[in-house]
Structure 1
Amino acid sequence: MFRDEVPFFLSKERGKVIYLASSNKNIDIYFDMLQEKGIKNIVKVDDLLDDESFYRINYELIDTIKNKKEYIILISLEGILKNYIFDGERLCLKLGKVISQKDLIEKLESSGYTRNYLVEKRMEYSIRGDIFDVFPPSGENPVRIEFFGDEIDRISYFSIYTQKTVEKISEVYMYIDKNNENRISFMNIVEKIHKKDLKLFIENPELLRYRLEENVLRDREKEKEIRDFFIDVEEKFTPLEVIKSDNKKFSRKKDFTKDGIKYNEFSQIRENDYIIHENYGVGIYLGIEIIDNKDYLMIKYAGEDKLYVPIDGINRIERYICDPGNVPEIYNLGRRGFKKRREKLEEEMLQFAKDIVAIQAKRAMNIGYSFSPDTVWQDEFEEKFQYTETRDQRRAIEDVKRDMESSKVMDRIVCGDVGYGKTEVAVRATFKAIMDGKQVLLIAPTTVLAQQHFERFQERFQEYPITMDILSRLKSDKEQNETIKKLQSGSLDVVIGTHRALSSDVKFNNLGLIIVDEEQKFGVKAKESLKKIRNSVDMLTLTATPIPRTLNLALLGIRDISVIETAPEGRIPVETMIMDNNKKEIRDAIMREIAREGQVFYIYNVVKSMEKKLEELRKIVPKFINIEYIHGKMTPKEIKARLRAFEDGEIDILLSTTIIENGIDIENANTIIIEGMDKLGLSQVYQLRGRVGRGKRKGYCYLVKDADKDFGKKAAQREESLKNLEPTGGGFQLSLEDMRIRGAGEILGDKQHGALETFGYNLYMKLLKEEIGKVKGEEKSENIVKIDLDEEAFIPDSYISSNEKLVIYRRALDIDNLDELLLLERELRDRFGKEPREVKNLFRFLKIKILAKIANVVEIKSTEDGYFISFNEVLVNFEKLHKLISDGKARYSQREKGLYYKGEMVEFLEWYLGGENDRVL
């Protein structure tokens, strides 16, 4: 049935087409292919798991059927079984249209919408000044409407992640009535369509009937309905064609360039959070207060003491992250308590800094092999990668190549969430090493992960004369000895293995690169072996959640780090839910996944009662569902065979220990149930959760806990952390959060524990880096410009709410160039509407600050008829100032050592930094 990898009847047919597919997998394949062919108006009705996705698909379906002359509907058996809303209120919004915002709000709220400050999910709306955001049940993206009075002045789609506009449009149609309960069957919808225009195709009807009888339906009424459906379509639709499908799989190059980072910051400070000021210590953040037309951060200290920090001092404040078991000590402001404590601890930090610098110096002296620049083969090999690299992935690849080509021994960590493309970074580094005749070792903590890497590398290298083998328990002693001989002789380019590859009998002929996947999973002996090799051979470490020690060493510069945090396009966040250990709830979760032809991981980390758990599960689900288990005490061949059967779809539920937390990549398994979550670490739960949601389907993670069991404060914090993690890109951030929960003192040893408790993790790292700079003899270059413009320059609450504007302030004050400042200004206008006078003044202030810093200005302050400007006398351009004075536009005060200027400050600074023709004053 496949011609040029496209279903011919779909790519050539025009008009109204309905295609009943025999599997959801086929629907996904056809949908992608047809989109690549540029065919419009394709609707796929497959994964109707939750209400949100059902309403979206429902409204897209009726919108297409009612309003498009040509379309293709790809529908599954489950889609046929659903009842649909066929009538609903459709709202039309066009540029220039006059509509009362009050009427619009009433319409939305009567349909079940709720108001939120920022729209984050469907059926929410938001009002911020003239900006009206709404996320209807229909359509892919939320809609932003900007009003001028009651007239629509702008309409656009915006990203739920960045909150920024992605596409401007002139009109939009939205179905808003979610409360319509008058539903009809899909067959009734078909009846309503003009039959003479309709072409209906059924794929594998025998398979569909079998699935109805054996796998899905136990409801006699529904069974009859479907049987009648087949009779009806055969009798009433002459264009009916029966299609045989071989369920063939295809690979296509996909564009994975979409940004997936959510707009809010992990370290965002909220009211009543502990914060730490580098000069005054830990306090409690109370919010923002306006004093003399400026925003100040209000911080509570011991007793009734309060500190008011001007907003441009925000870089001196951090969210306090340390051991949650200890309440931090809060000092009075008027005493020297914190200052004395800081001075004492800085002495200890200075010694620690000297130790770190010594390690860095030793590392810099390690001269390694300099790999050659990329070859034509390398370019050709990389071009065959089936996905388009994300921005961060490209950067990580460039970092690794640069390290390999330098004379320094590489020791780089590539950190990225599951499915973000770390393996491809390793694949390219491997190919580069082989091009120079070097051997490569990749080691993984489990035989399962090693096997998966072996298969992926084989697939990528299949067109090239590269020899590779695997060294693990999956091989017999005889096979392992053969592999070792080939390594010693140099006839093997790549070996992938477990810690077995680090044994003393394994010798290489010309080892040039070691790749370590999930280093934290290895034992002490393996880590010691790696430490010995690290100083002489280029090493690349891959990790989704770097252990705190590794992360810390990377942040201190002892090891290099590349972070991949851009989510692949189409990646849907995994939904995490906590549920009680209840048979009905567990059965429902399983059956929801089975109903959409998916598979389930069930994590149960107790080997001795694994078979008992297997029988429990078999009792609560229908007999046609196949369940098997794996655990680390089984033979490697048994594990491999069952994993293969699961991957091939022969097993519906895989009961497993945490053995599957790394490396298992099965796109059809999108529900994971984790029993005994309280006994697992936060990073471990996160890794397990990463086994699902790796494709385009929504993934679900159920954390099972006993309702009557008290897990304690730290377990409760783990639970809360998992719920609050960014939906994508959270692995790196989770390491910091895990560090906070477990207490960061153990990372740096007992001597630094007190410093960590006092300063918190963020400030500690900042101060330690300063001490390292002192040891290295680096000058602390902090060009602070004192600016007093005597005008209202802040963000009013009426424009942006307190918590959100703190994020904006931090971003704004970190900007050091005009291009980025302009982008932020445009973003605020897009997200929050036309800026008030105070915000315009703020951006003018920031522009002056950036220009003044470049111009080596020390101070700017308003005067009665202009400005007073003081320069760094060593770096001042006297020629330009003399010209200004001689032209009568300024006068110099010898006593105050500064310039009095009567013009516009931005124009002056641009002229001073530019040429004679730049805005002549």
Structure 2
Amino acid sequence: MIKNPITKIFSESLQVQKLEHSIAQNEKKLSIKGTVGSSFAFIIYSIFKSLKRSIFLIFSDKEEATYFLNDIETIDENLNILFFPSGGREPYNDDNISTYNLLQRTEVLNYLYANEFEESIIITYNDAIIEKILLANELSKLTLDINLKQQISLDYINSKLFELNFQKQDFVSEPGDFSVRGGIVDVFSFSNERPYRIEFFGDEISRIRTFDTNTQLSESSHSSIKITSNIQSSYNIQGRDNIINILQDSTIIFTKNLELLLSNINNNFQLSIQNFDTITDKHNILPPDILYSSPDDVLDSINKFRLIEFDSIKHKSTDQIEFSFIPQPSFNRSFKILIDNLNTNSSKGYTNYICCTSKQQEIRLNEIFNDSESDVNYKTLIMPLSSGFIDNENRLACYTDHQIFERYHKFRFKKRYFNKRAISLKQINKLSKGDYITHIDHGIGIFGGLQKIEVDGKIQEAIKLIYGERDILYLSIHSLYKISKYNGKEGKSPRIYKLGSKAWALLKQKTKSRVKEIAYDLIKLYAERKRRKGFRYSTDTFLQTELEASFIYEDTDDQIKVTREIKSDMESDQPMDRLVCGDVGFGKTEVAIRAAFKAVDNNKQVVILVPTTILAFQHYKTFTSRLKEFPISIDYLNRFRSSKE
């Protein structure tokens, strides 16, 4: 892996080394001031690499914590980084529980208990500290260990999952679900982002794999797994403590504002007392001091560790280390101002780095500077940091492209357990009996629901499809790819044929013949178009590149692909014929704006045709707003405008 040049600068920084020395000298309380933007992530990275001790960071809120998480993962994705969110619920209130947050909390606990001596960076925020976590012995009671070749009966696992409050479903789709089909158990643990598929050969576990809930296809294999129940489902488990008390003794704790942290803890603790008092039946419900942390509990726990406050308004520590960072300046999308700033930095001995969100943005940025016909002193890195900064001590300017172009920058969580679903379990669960389904081999049938059938002496789940003359087809859930929901003329029911009928085969054959006719006509048409010559547009200019780079959102992969293909069409001398399809909000208008701008940049006029009067005005406003910084005249025409206008 290529060493990040910015991390090298930070590792050699005198102030960072001073901070590392102070921590190593076991000074109980320190404070640091003057960190700006993503500079704090580089400081933490240097400390972690140098001292080889675990770091526990408490931010004011989830947004701050998540931006830092993205920064530190961007710097080095191979670090042991854990994110500990709040449970997502109010004390003694089970509404709005975040299943994904439970997954992450459980993942952190399992990691900490299983890797007592391994260094890690744990990121959290004030609201996540309030709810106490289960101690290792209590967590083990909610966990079922499964190993390959283990002798265990399927009936035992079935009853154990019920005991752990897992819900039996036809298909698993979210944590807490499990299903049994013949000699296969699917279970979605709260400690893994993919569900497990456990296969039996008699009473021996023959295979353990994760699988995709959408496609039902198996993925990676495992020799052992832990199936963990919902760690927040019960209010009557006593073995709890706040997460700080289970950290390694050598852990370094960073908190942005200790007073604010304790204030938030106190507010939440008082709320837990109020909510507890409103409960009429307190049977099997423990009081707040068992389930939730008080300010004194948290403060006592923190005081056992090396505490470092960063950027706090008030500092109580005797030792304070100040950094000389300043925020990235605003350039108002002006490349002249940016170029002047970069060259001024260079003349003062500063090294300029521009961190780009993607390779595409890096290429655009370089093209703009190359077309500017000015000597610019800078280097680019593909490193999507949240915020740029200038380090006056080390003469370093680290800018982000999204701030230069005033684009939105979104933090990204690692891949969640849910995903896009085509004709999959989600759609099947939404289907009602009587809906029409198309089977690729047998044609249109009627959905008859999910049923359990016996296959080779084993009970399995299957999809029931009803055909003409009461014929029935049972389809295995592993053959979902063969069916799709029927789409036809609204209000007109399709004809249902019996199984084995030649009607469906004849219909498919007739359709293929018709498709061939259409294909022939298209080939003939395109052969004629191929002979003709159209206008060849020039390659992208400085203005085109600047327009695309200034898009306030990050381009999707589809937008990049389609934009590239459209411009390739325009730069060819063949007449262009392209259809862009996509759902509402997927960025089609931006692609159209770029194509229209390219035409105008080649001294052409552009007409945008839309189906309604309202859309004409909406597109006028969109184009005007997007192209206001460029020398282009834009107007609109509809039936409400006079001839003079």
TM-score bracket for this pair, using the shorter chain length: 0.5 to 0.7
TM-superposed deviation, 1:242: 0.9
Amino acid at match of 1:124: D
Cα offsets for 1:884-917 (capped at 9, x unmatched): xxxxxxxxxxxxxxxxxxxxxxxxxxxxxxxxxx
Residues 161, 408 of structure 1: alpha-carbon distance in 2 compared, 3 angstrom cutoff: same
Residues 67, 274 of structure 1: alpha-carbon distance in 2 compared, 3 angstrom cutoff: closer
**Pair 1:262-2:421 in alignment:** yes
Q: What's the counterpart of residue 128 of structure 2?
A: 79
Aligned match for 2:113, one of 63, 66, 86: 66
TM-superposed deviation, 1:29: 1.4
How far apart, CA to CA, are the structure 2 residues paired with 1:453 and 1:44? 43
**Pair 1:8-2:59 in alignment:** no
Residues 326, 45 of structure 1: alpha-carbon distance in 2 compared, 3 angstrom cutoff: same
Residues 118, 372 of structure 1: alpha-carbon distance in 2 compared, 3 angstrom cutoff: farther
The answer to whether the Cα contact below 8 Å between 1:257 and 1:389 also exists between their aligned partners in 2 is no
**Pair 1:33-2:61 in alignment:** no
**Pair 1:106-2:159 in alignment:** yes
Question: Residue 415 of structure 1 aligns to a residue in which SS?
Answer: coil
How far apart, CA to CA, are the structure 2 residues paired with 1:75 and 1:99? 39
**Pair 1:273-2:273 in alignment:** no
Q: What's the counterpart of residue 172 of structure 1?
A: 225
Residues 305, 141 of structure 1: alpha-carbon distance in 2 compared, 3 angstrom cutoff: closer
How far apart, CA to CA, are the structure 1 residues paired with 2:272 and 2:602? 65
**Pair 1:242-2:408 in alignment:** no
- Where do 1:166-245 residues align within 5 Å? 166-176=219-229, 178=231, 181-183=235-237, 188-193=242-247, 196-208=249-261, 226-229=294-297, 231-233=299-301, 236-244=303-311
Amino acid at match of 1:503: Y
**Aligned CA-pair RMSD:** 6.1
How far apart, CA to CA, are the structure 2 residues paired with 1:257 and 1:58? 14
Q: What's the counterpart of residue 518 of structure 1?
A: none
**5+ residue gaps, structure 1:** 334-341, 458-467, 471-482, 489-500, 505-522, 530-921
How far apart, CA to CA, are the structure 1 residues paired with 2:238 and 2:463? 58
**Pair 1:145-2:198 in alignment:** yes
Amino acid at match of 2:88: L
TM-superposed deviation, 1:124: 1.4
How far apart, CA to CA, are the structure 1 residues paired with 2:87 and 2:481? 46
How far apart, CA to CA, are the structure 1 residues paired with 2:300 and 2:481? 70
Amino acid at match of 2:124: I
How far apart, CA to CA, are the structure 1 residues paired with 2:463 and 2:267? 68
Amino acid at match of 1:40: N
**Pair 1:370-2:536 in alignment:** yes
Question: Residue 413 of structure 1 aligns to a residue in which SS?
Answer: coil
Q: What's the counterpart of residue 576 of structure 1?
A: none
How far apart, CA to CA, are the structure 1 residues paired with 2:183 and 2:470? 39
Residues 40, 219 of structure 1: alpha-carbon distance in 2 compared, 3 angstrom cutoff: closer
The answer to whether the Cα contact below 8 Å between 2:466 and 2:472 also exists between their aligned partners in 1 is yes
- Where do 1:242-641 residues align within 5 Å? 242-244=309-311, 249-250=386-387, 260-264=419-423, 272-274=434-436, 284=446, 321=487, 369-372=535-538, 392-393=558-559, 395-406=561-572, 407-410=574-577, 412-416=579-583, 418=585, 420=586, 422=588, 425-426=591-592, 429=595, 433=599, 436=602, 445=615, 468-469=627-628, 487=632, 501-503=634-636
Amino acid at match of 1:169: H
Aligned match for 2:169, one of 104, 112, 116: 116
How far apart, CA to CA, are the structure 2 residues paired with 1:263 and 1:276? 14
Residues 421, 85 of structure 1: alpha-carbon distance in 2 compared, 3 angstrom cutoff: farther
Moved more, 159-168 or 281-290: 281-290
Moved more, 108-117 or 140-149: 140-149
Identity of aligned pairs, percent?
24
How far apart, CA to CA, are the structure 1 residues paired with 2:540 and 2:267? 56
Cα offsets for 1:572-618 (capped at 9, x unmatched): xxxxxxxxxxxxxxxxxxxxxxxxxxxxxxxxxxxxxxxxxxxxxxx
TM-superposed deviation, 1:135: 0.8
How far apart, CA to CA, are the structure 1 residues paired with 2:311 and 2:587? 36
Q: What's the counterpart of residue 88 of structure 2?
A: 48
TM-score (norm 1): 0.39
TM-score (norm 2): 0.52
Question: Residue 632 of structure 2 aligns to a residue in which SS?
Answer: helix
The answer to whether the Cα contact below 8 Å between 1:41 and 1:64 also exists between their aligned partners in 2 is no
How far apart, CA to CA, are the structure 2 residues paired with 1:76 and 1:394? 36
How far apart, CA to CA, are the structure 1 residues paired with 2:211 and 2:463? 31
**Pair 1:93-2:146 in alignment:** yes
Question: Residue 35 of structure 1 aligns to a residue in which SS?
Answer: helix
Residues 239, 330 of structure 1: alpha-carbon distance in 2 compared, 3 angstrom cutoff: closer
How far apart, CA to CA, are the structure 1 residues paired with 2:474 and 2:247? 66
How far apart, CA to CA, are the structure 1 residues paired with 2:577 and 2:414? 28
- Where do 1:750-769 residues align within 5 Å? none
Cα offsets for 1:389-416 (capped at 9, x unmatched): 7664554335433443453355533314
TM-superposed deviation, 1:40: 0.8
TM-superposed deviation, 1:133: 2.2
Amino acid at match of 1:408: P
How far apart, CA to CA, are the structure 2 residues paired with 1:328 and 1:255? 45
How far apart, CA to CA, are the structure 1 residues paired with 2:146 and 2:297? 38
Cα offsets for 1:114-136 (capped at 9, x unmatched): 23343211111233444432110
Question: Residue 145 of structure 1 aligns to a residue in which SS?
Answer: strand
Amino acid at match of 1:170: S
The answer to whether the Cα contact below 8 Å between 2:593 and 2:623 also exists between their aligned partners in 1 is no
TM-superposed deviation, 1:370: 3.2
Question: Residue 628 of structure 2 aligns to a residue in which SS?
Answer: strand
TM-superposed deviation, 1:137: 1.1
The answer to whether the Cα contact below 8 Å between 1:125 and 1:134 also exists between their aligned partners in 2 is yes
TM-superposed deviation, 1:267: 8.8
The answer to whether the Cα contact below 8 Å between 1:60 and 1:138 also exists between their aligned partners in 2 is yes
The answer to whether the Cα contact below 8 Å between 1:275 and 1:284 also exists between their aligned partners in 2 is yes
Residues 254, 451 of structure 1: alpha-carbon distance in 2 compared, 3 angstrom cutoff: farther
TM-superposed deviation, 1:162: 2.9
TM-superposed deviation, 1:138: 1.4
Question: Residue 412 of structure 1 aligns to a residue in which SS?
Answer: coil
How far apart, CA to CA, are the structure 1 residues paired with 2:133 and 2:247? 14
